[in-house]
Amino acid sequence: KEEKLPYKVKDISLAKWGRQEIELAEAEMPGLMALREEYKDEQPLKGARIAGCLHMTIQTAVLIETLIELGADVTWSSCNIYSTQDHAAAAMAEAGVPVYAWKGMSEEEFNWAIEQTLFFPDGQPLNMILDDGGDLTNMVLDEYPELVEGINGISEETTTGVLRLVERERKGTLSLPAINVNDSVTKSKFDNKYGCRESAADAIRRATDVMMAGKVAVVGGYGDVGKGTAASLRGAGARVIVTEIDPICALQAAMDGFEVKKMDDAAEEGDIFVTATGNKDIIKDRHFKKMKDKAIVGNIGHFDNEIDVAWLKKNAEEENIKPQVDLFTMKDSGKQIVLLSQGRLMNLGNATGHPSFVMSNSFTNQTLAQIALWNRPEEFEPGVHVLPKSLDEKVARLHLSKIGVELDTLTEDQAEYIGVPITGPYKSDQYRY
Ligand code: NAI
């Protein structure tokens, strides 16, 4: 049998740069740093062997080191072939983390990398899953069912991964408890929205340097990610058109001041297209045919099936301009389309994902989910769960002082009047924020 690699990264000599950026990120991630302080004596993750599959970025490095400081052993892979920041991966490898991730891996290498994380250096298998999008979860449940018995649970980061878990639950194939981190308010209403508000325009700029002001941008989907993406492009001065299938989200987009059209019509008008639906087949052959010459097309949803890249590859000549930017020249018309990250999520492929501060909210939820599943497994039946609102409010609270937010406090009289405890939770579980 081949000797297992202790790690596989692009270039270990990038570790020093990675460490410098990790230290800067720590100052922007008060939630994670507060958990390190709170739990350093208690070591609530002692004994946990967490296999993580989540974009191997600088922010994720701060998450990994938080899990380790709380007592866990950790192995890591990235949940997208383009999302790894090689200096972050190098810093983790140098710190002794078995990490298998580099930017620009093939799909075969992607699956290989996830597989490496299932067993720890001492030969023991994982006993916790931390996932983003469900690829690790599906590999374990479908291909390594013998490992399931030893696993306490799953924490899942994103909308698409939660969708896959819920589907498994419905089909009766979800044999483990899973915490849906995405639907903590301090995750989806912050990372998906305010995160994309920073990183969507960033991706277009770093990829193309195109002037966005005055251009027409089309955003497919007006959920949390679509809202952030539309705001991002508007902030850059673009005139934004939204497409939707849900009347509520379409009405929201209209009342936020965006034009809402069918993709079939928007296709002719757009200079820049970003899909944000988590659904498939949003931009297809007939849309490409209607687009302007040199339209820029990217996706910010989890998987690369929002844009029919296979059609482009068949019907256009492909030329690489720079990493994650490709020019497609249509064989029949000679018209050109600029495709970002081969249709994979552009904010992590073309830029560096969301800023640390917003990811601290997401990852504080991740850490709390791991603590809950590892310490109190008896509380979680197989199926999909969310963290209690008290923890959601705690995550928010941990991020206030960094940005100078001061809260008022309810008086006893006021608390009684609106029927909530002075210390929270302040809203019912149905409240939508
Ligand atoms: P969401 O469910 O809040 O929003 C998706 C929206 O797309 C919904 O409003 C839905 O009605 C709409 N939609 C569905 N089919 C459509 C169609 N054919 N045409 C137009 N609109 C359509 O989901 P959320 O949280 O916004 O996530 C979207 C995707 O982004 C998911 O794949 C998620 O995993 C991913 N994601 C990506 C992030 C990133 O940094 N790139 C961050 C967080 C999530």
- pLDDT tens digits along 10-23: 999 999 999 999 99
The 10s digit of each residue's pLDDT in 401-423 is: 999 999 999 999 999 999 999 99
Give me the pLDDT at residue 337, please.
98
ipTM of this predicted structure: 0.99
Ligand 1 atom nearest residue 243's Cα: 20
The whole-number average pLDDT for the span 323-342 is 98
Nearest to 38 by CA among 358, 398, 366, 424: 398
Find the mean pLDDT for residues 131-144. 98
Q: Could you give the 3-state DSSP secondary structure of residue 75? A: strand
Angstrom distance (rounded) from CA 244 to CA 328: 27
Residue 298: beta bridge partners? 274
What does the pLDDT read at residue 338? Answer: 98
Which active-site residues does the annotation give? Answer: 55, 78, 83, 132, 157, 182, 187, 191-192, 196, 302, 354, 362, 366
Beta-carbon count within 10 A of 172 CB: 8
Q: How confident is the model at residue 1 (pLDDT cuts 50, 70, 90)?
A: low
DSSP code, position 344 = S
The pLDDT of residue 45: 98
Give the pLDDT confidence of 68-101 residue by residue, as tens digits: 999 999 999 999 999 999 999 999 999 999 999 9
**Ligand 1 geometric centre to CA of 330 (Å):** 29
Q: What is the pLDDT of residue 3?
A: 83
Task: Report percent pLDDT > 90 for the chain.
Answer: 99
List, chain by chain if needed, residues with CB within 6 Å of any ligand 1 atom.
Answer: 158-160, 188, 191-192, 195-196, 220-226, 243-246, 249, 276-279, 282, 300-302, 345, 347, 354
* In contact, 413 and 377? CB cutoff 8 Å: no
Q: Ligand 1 centroid vs 192 CA: distance in angstroms? A: 9
| Residue 223 labelled as part of a binding site | yes
Does the predicted model carry a pTM greater than 0.95? yes
Please write the tens of the pLDDT for every residue from 218-265.
999 999 999 999 999 999 999 999 999 999 999 999 999 999 999 999
Count H helices and E strands in the chain, helices first.
Answer: 18, 15
Strands (E), 331-367: 336-340
Q: Indicate the helix (H) or strand (E) that contains 216.
A: strand 216-220
